[in-house]
Amino acid sequence: STNTVKKIACIGAGYVGGPSMAVIALQCPNIEVVVLDINEERIKAWNSDKLPIYEPGLEEVVFAARGRNLFFSTDTTKHLGEADVIFVSVNTPTKMSGIGAGRAADLTYWEGAARMIAAVSKSSKIVVEKSTVPVKTAEAIAKVLTRNCVDPNVKFEILSNPEFLAEGTAISDLTKPDRVLIGGQETPTGRAALEKLKWVYAHWVPDNRILMTNLWSAELAKLTANAMLAQRISSVNAISALCEATGADVSQVSYAIGMDSRIGPKFLQASVGFGGSCFQKDILNLCYVCESVGLKEVSDYWYTVVAMNDYQKQRFVERVISGMFNTVAGKRIAIFGFAFKKDTGDTRETPAIDVCRGLLADGAKCAVYDPQVAPIQMFRDLSAPKYAWDRPHGWTKSENHIMESVQAVSDPYSCAAGSHAICVLTEWDEFKGLDYAKMYDSMVKPAFVFDGRNILDHDALRKIGFVVYALGKPLDPFLVRG
Ligand code: UDX
Ligand code: UDX
Ligand code: ADP
């Protein structure tokens, strides 16, 4: 049929590009899928036994398709040249300087990818936005592509196909998606491109779950989905503060409201704060888009979701410090979990960064245990200003001082030993099954647990002798200051 796609290339072999292309390759054995990156080390890792990202079920998928119809390469010229469909899945961080700093998306990598495509294309291509970008990016990219392509016979059709996978569940999200969203131009060639991409997904996704919209709707739906999900967490986290002040229990409140089918039970788990590469970035991005079209009130509205998240992290730090007699100076504190959620080694925007920094600023010594995060990553995250860890001049004196106060520990028991407190910052399942009585014996008394994810058995911990703080739960009399 005319819908046939023979070869797909993807620019960007990260958390989105890697898993999503691996699943396409597994489900479509008749399509050759090549994932490209400028980072040679990353490509090497994708071609090795130890994949560059941790994701449950990912190895099985990659090992089944790799070498058959799934390839990882740095040879962009060759593979972009041959592909019918090119996914762009490069990083789009928040701009750190210039116009829109701290809010707008940095499209440097995106533009770089577009220029690369234009330079090597000798046949017409469908270019698919997969990484989240501001609304109307497709329009800008189309201009870059057509103005830079030397061959006038080469035509580019742009589609927006935002990815909704969550880290830690990427493979099941990709295999059984709630929906696949594809936006395209409302022209005959735009519709033809939509049908082609739909044909790819139809290999395993039911027809009624593949939605086709115009370009701007697809782009905006992605930003809105993340803003609404984050808003649920900020709403519940705001209520968690009120629960602590009144004696209500946030888990009971969440359960009760989630039973209302109009609200639904998911994404109502109070936490020390949301993290990850998407929520904050996409909301800031949404705010910036609103501002640039003169909608200040709309921007202010969404910004409160981010502000509430910062408040929640700060509130947690203040609880720890005030609970421990208003000083953590010189005290060892065991940090359980550094990743932004369980089942990933990703630390982008993890609440653990702000919490540890808050404790370190008050003189604490942090011993950090996480089953998936490499010590070097923890040090990078904690030592340098955001986004600037790779600057060439090394660390400043005060950063060095911070580094001396951080220790990465490879097992939870030695992490707890000698500590005054345990702070649970990631909801790893393994934290639930640990021997807390054994840890209690090795800790300084009074020994505290601050459960920032509400995953432990708090009554059992109290029986052992711990002073327990659980988010949004009635406070231990010990923690209430008179
Ligand atoms: C509400 C709650 O739904 C109900 O559970 C509670 O007991 C009382 O308050 P009510 O105010 O009667 O009930 O009606 P509801 O259906 O919730 O609508 C409230 C308003 O929201 C209406 O003006 C409605 O038009 C508006 N609405 C509702 C929207 O604008 N969009 C929607 O998607 C839903
Ligand atoms: C999110 C979206 O879910 C996904 O659709 C989008 O494509 C990318 O952004 P991700 O950031 O990988 O995915 O993880 P998610 O499960 O959404 O969790 C984000 C953060 O919210 C985590 O820090 C998590 O711990 C926190 N969270 C989530 C809560 O604090 N409470 C909840 O109830 C749910
Ligand atoms: P995400 O979570 O959105 O997948 P990542 O940072 O994990 O983000 O992945 C993005 C990848 O895109 C990185 O591995 C980066 O090296 C790669 N990349 C960025 N720009 C280009 C480019 N012009 N060509 C090829 N790869 C690129």
Catalytic residue, candidates 10, 149, 278, 290: 278
In Å, what is the CA distance from 212 to each residue of 187, 199, 216?
13, 12, 11
What stretch(es) of the chain map to CATH 3.40.50.720? 7-205, 240-479
Rounded Cα gap, residues 21 and 24, in angstroms: 5
**pLDDT value at position 391?**
47
Please choose from 36, 37, 72 the residue to mutate so as to test ligand 3's pocket, defined by most ligand atoms within 8 A of CB.
Answer: 37
Specify whether the CB–CB gap between 110 and 88 falls below 8 A: yes
SS3 468: strand
Find the mean pLDDT for residues 90-106: 88
Mean pLDDT over the full length of the chain:
94
Centre of ligand 2 to C-alpha 402, Å, is: 29
278 is catalytic: yes
pLDDT at 390 over 50: no
Centre of ligand 1 to C-alpha 303, Å, is: 25
Inter-helix orientation angle 279-292/215-246, to 10°: 120
CATH of domain 7-205: 3.40.50.720
pLDDT at 464 over 70: yes
Centre of ligand 1 to C-alpha 449, Å, is: 41
Query: 72-90: per-residue pLDDT in tens?
Result: 999 999 999 999 999 999 9
| pLDDT confidence tier of residue 395, bands split at 50, 70 and 90 | low
For ligand 3, atom 19, the nearest C-alpha belongs to 90
Q: Give the lowest-confidence range in 63-67, 111-115, 274-278, 444-448.
A: 111-115
Judge if ipTM > 0.90.
yes
Of the chain, the percentage scoring pLDDT greater than 70 comes to 96
> Domain 240-479 belongs to what topology?
Rossmann fold (3.40.50)
pLDDT at 30 over 90: yes
Nearest-CA neighbor of 470 among 479, 245, 247, 453?
A: 453
In Å, what is the CA distance from 104 to each residue of 101, 136, 352, 422?
6, 13, 24, 37
Query: 192-244: per-residue pLDDT in tens?
Result: 999 999 999 999 999 999 999 999 999 999 999 999 999 999 999 999 999 99
List, chain by chain if needed, residues with CB within 6 Å of any ligand 3 atom. 11-17, 36-39, 42, 89-91, 109, 112-113, 116, 131, 277
